[in-house]
Amino acid sequence: MPISESMVQDIVQEVMAKMQIASDNSGKLGVFREMNEAIEAAKTAQQTVRKMSMDQREKIITCIRKKIHENAEILARMGVDETGMGNVGDKILKHHLVADKTPGTEDITTTAWSGDRGLTLIEMGPFGVIGAITPCTNPSETILCNTIGMLAGGNTVVFNPHPAAIKTSVYAINLLNEASLEAGGPANIAVTVENPTLETSNIMMKHKDIPLIAATGGPGVVTAVLSSGKRGIGAGAGNPPALVDETADIRKAARDIVNGCTFDNNLPCIAEKEIVAVDSIADELMHWLLTENDCYLASKEEQDKLTEVVLAGGKLNRKCVGRSAKVLLGMIGVNVPDNIRCIVFEGPKEHPLITTELMMPILGIVRAKDFDDAVEQAVWLEHGNRHSAHIHSKNIDNITKYAKAIDTAILVKNGPSYSALGFGGEGYCTFTIASRTGEGLTSASTFTKRRRCVMTDSLCIR
User: Smaller CB distance to ligand NAD: residue 137 or 408?
Assistant: 137
> In the bound complex, what is the minimum distance in angstroms from residue 170's beta carbon to ligand NAD?
13
What angle in degrees, to the nearest 10, is found between the helix axes of 88-101 and 139-152? 0
User: Smaller CB distance to ligand NAD: residue 136 or 391?
Assistant: 136
User: Which of 163, 155, 156 has its CA nearest to residue 134?
Assistant: 163
User: Smaller CB distance to ligand NAD: residue 105 or 432?
Assistant: 432
Residue 119 bridge partners (DSSP): 114, 455
> In the bound complex, what is the minimum distance in angstroms from residue 220's beta carbon to ligand NAD?
4
Using CB under 6 A as the criterion, which residues of the chain lie in contact with ligand NAD when the complex forms? 133-138, 161-162, 198, 201, 216-218, 220-221, 224, 235-238, 269, 357, 431-433, 435
User: Smaller CB distance to ligand NAD: residue 398 or 430?
Assistant: 430
Cα gap 300→313, rounded to integer Å:
19
> In the bound complex, what is the minimum distance in angstroms from residue 2's beta carbon to ligand NAD?
46
User: Smaller CB distance to ligand NAD: residue 25 or 435?
Assistant: 435
> In the bound complex, what is the minimum distance in angstroms from residue 79's beta carbon to ligand NAD?
12
Q: Where are the alpha helices (DSSP H) in 24-87?
A: 35-49, 54-83
> In the bound complex, what is the minimum distance in angstroms from residue 221's beta carbon to ligand NAD?
3
> In the bound complex, what is the minimum distance in angstroms from residue 88's beta carbon to ligand NAD?
19
User: Smaller CB distance to ligand NAD: residue 133 or 379?
Assistant: 133
Beta-sheet pairing, 111-115 with 31-32: unpaired
User: Smaller CB distance to ligand NAD: residue 224 or 277?
Assistant: 224
> In the bound complex, what is the minimum distance in angstroms from residue 305's beta carbon to ligand NAD?
24
Beta-sheet pairing, 111-115 with 440-441: unpaired
* Largest separation between any pair of C-alpha atoms in the chain: 79
Q: Which residue is nearest to ligand NAD (CB)?
A: 217
> In the bound complex, what is the minimum distance in angstroms from residue 435's beta carbon to ligand NAD?
5
> In residues, how long is the chain?
462
Cα gap 456→459, rounded to integer Å:
8
Q: Are 91 and 79 in contact (CB under 8 A)?
A: yes
Output the 3-class SS for 267-333. Answer: CCCCCCCEEEEEHHHHHHHHHHHHHHCCEEECCHHHHHHHHHHHCHHHCCCCCCCCCCHHHHHHHCC
Q: How many CB atoms lie within 10 A of CB 26?
A: 9
